[in-house]
Amino acid sequence: MLDRFGYIVVEGPIGVGKSSLARRIADHAGARLLHENPDENPFLPRFYDDIKRHALATQLFFLFQRAQQVQDLVQYDMFAQRTVADFLLDKDLLFARMTLDDDEFRLYQQIYDHLKPTAPRPDLVIYLQAPADVLVERVRRRGIRYEQGISEAYLRRVADSYARFFYDYDAAPLLIVNTENLNFADNDADFQLLLDKIGHMRSAREFFNRAG
């Protein structure tokens, strides 16, 4: 069902399950996994303690990290092995606009424009959604220490920013998935439903939702 998608990107807000799903798709397809690695960012714990003070350093670290990963992807023979990523470089500006003041954002924009490599166009982007209260519960459940102080208000802002970003997104085929009543990491039936949906996609923008 994934044969026609050589490069798949899974995206969505904190706690929605994008890394778990990307890993499962990669395992299922025998694909290379391109992982965001937030634990490598030394500024991230401080960011959640004081967003305004540490936003710029946090964003710049992620920008350099993702730019290098995408550059590696450009140089990688994508015909040799399918690739699944849990981040889209284009979304970096989403967080920058949300967390940086005007002067910081102008600086970030200059660095972004200078560094940004020409990333391959994904064959499919899977955008995962969930209500803010569901994101909070999932973040608490996974138990990463520095994430435990993230507020529902912040997660709501992140989720709203993603929704605005993908509202006009047309750079690649897009599958929008409401994950509120789906568990792709632990439920084989849910994962198979998603694979079936992907395999039957016929238009550039489709939706997948299962009522509770």
What CATH number did the domain enclosing 144 receive? Answer: 3.40.50.300
Quick check: 91 and 165 in contact, CB under 8 A? yes
Quick check: 198 and 1 in contact, CB under 8 A? yes
Q: Residue 79 has what pLDDT? A: 57
How does pLDDT run along the chain (212 residues), one tens digit per residue?
Answer: 678 888 999 999 999 999 999 999 999 999 989 888 888 999 999 998 898 999 999 999 999 988 888 777 766 665 567 899 999 988 888 889 999 999 999 999 999 988 876 778 899 999 999 999 999 999 888 888 878 878 888 889 999 999 999 999 999 999 999 999 999 989 999 999 999 999 999 999 999 988 65
The answer to whether position 181 is within a domain reads yes
Domain that holds residue 118: 7-208
Q: How many domains are there within the chain? A: 1
Quick check: 49 and 148 in contact, CB under 8 A? no
Q: Residue 211 has what pLDDT? A: 67
The answer to whether position 1 is within a domain reads no
